């Protein structure tokens, strides 16, 4: 086992738990925010399990997923906008619980939690299908076009799945206001996709042919 990679992964994981937990529970001013605990469990327990699996099964992919340093100007903008969205959305969710601005029926929270878990499973399937999935936009050595499984339906299944993941988050947290904030994510990811496809078409052999074969980026028959 790569000890350096393991420590890097553990440190980022703990920081993630502390930062997101702080963004949710400090504004809520209470640890009785059960939606917050539900969300933290749904987010971080599968993440921990997936990290352990990748550590032993595919440490190179784990290393790529831990790297978040973007070189492209457009992608840096995407990171900034996404960060603002998460920061604002989580803080508002905590404040919403504290001040009782809006309420979401428990059945909606439960359905959202189920959809979140299903999206997580699909996300894991995408990682299994595509070993080149880095968090940054780059073409790697010996990279090939993946056109099977979910990639035979849309060109960017991971981004389609993250839309479902991110739009269920504020509903799990019980905040309609946060949900409205997270609705900007599809527009943010559109910026990333357009820039990414430009790079892939330029640098990845066979990608232009793949675009002709699989016509839709995110949603079949729509876009």
Identify the DSSP state of 3.
H
Report CA-CA distances (Å) from 52 to 1, 46, 55, 123.
11, 10, 5, 16
Using 50, 70 and 90 to split pLDDT, how confident is the model at 210?
A: confident
- List Cβ neighbours of 34 (8 Å cut-off, separation of 6 or more): none
Integer-rounded Cα radius of gyration of the chain:
18
Cβ 45 vs Cβ 175: under 8 Å = no
What is the DSSP secondary-structure string of 78-123? HHHHHHHHHHHHHHHHHHHHHHT-----HHHHHHHHHHHHHHHHHH
Which of 123-132, 169-178, 189-198 has the least mean pLDDT?
A: 123-132
Report CA-CA distances (Å) from 121 to 16, 46, 97, 118, 132.
20, 9, 29, 5, 18
What is the pLDDT, as a whole number, of residue 57? 78
Q: Which domains does the chain have, with CATH numbers?
A: 3-213 (1.20.120.1630)
pLDDT for 82-95, tens place per residue? 999 999 999 999 99
Cβ 162 vs Cβ 189: under 8 Å = yes
Share of the chain above pLDDT 70, in %: 90
pLDDT for 128-175, tens place per residue? 777 666 555 556 566 778 878 888 888 888 899 999 999 999 999 999
What is the pLDDT, as a whole number, of residue 49? 86
Residue 32 has, within 13 A of its CA and on its CB side, a CA count of 2
Report CA-CA distances (Å) from 210 to 112, 148, 218, 223.
33, 11, 14, 15
**Sign of the dihedral defined by the CA atoms of residues 119, 121, 126, 127, in that order:** positive
What does pTM read for this prediction?
0.86
Count of Cβ atoms closer than 10 Å to residue 71 Cβ: 10
Cβ 80 vs Cβ 192: under 8 Å = no
Using 50, 70 and 90 to split pLDDT, how confident is the model at 109?
A: very high
Whether 3 has a pLDDT exceeding 90, the answer reads: no
Query: What is the mean pLDDT of the segment spanning 98-120?
Result: 95
Using 50, 70 and 90 to split pLDDT, how confident is the model at 105?
A: very high
Share of the chain above pLDDT 90, in %: 46
């Amino acid at each position: 086992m790569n000890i350096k990679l393991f420590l890097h992964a553990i440190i980022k994981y703990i920081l993630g738990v502390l930062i997101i937990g702080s963004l949710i529970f400090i504004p809520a001013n209470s640890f009785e925010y059960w939606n917050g605990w539900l969300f933290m469990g749904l987010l971080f327990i599968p993440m921990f399990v997936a990290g352990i699996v990748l550590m032993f099964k595919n440490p190179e992919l784990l290393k790529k997923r831990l790297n978040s340093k973007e070189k492209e100007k457009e992608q840096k903008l995407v990171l900034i906008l996404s960060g603002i969205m998460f920061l604002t959305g989580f803080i508002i969710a905590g404040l919403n619980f504290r001040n009782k601005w809006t309420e979401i029926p428990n059945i909606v929270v439960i359905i959202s939690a189920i959809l979140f878990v299903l999206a997580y499973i699909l996300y894991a399937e995408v990682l299994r299908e595509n070993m080149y999935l880095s968090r940054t936009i780059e073409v790697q050595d010996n990279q090939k076009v993946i056109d099977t499984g979910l990639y035979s339906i849309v060109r960017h299944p991971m981004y389609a799945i993250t839309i479902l993941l991110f739009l269920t988050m504020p509903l799990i947290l019980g905040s309609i206001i946060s949900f409205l904030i997270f609705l900007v994510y599809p527009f943010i990811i559109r910026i990333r996709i357009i820039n990414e496809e430009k790079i892939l078409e330029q640098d990845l052999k066979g990608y232009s042919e793949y675009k002709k074969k699989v016509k839709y980026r995110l949603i079949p028959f729509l876009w």
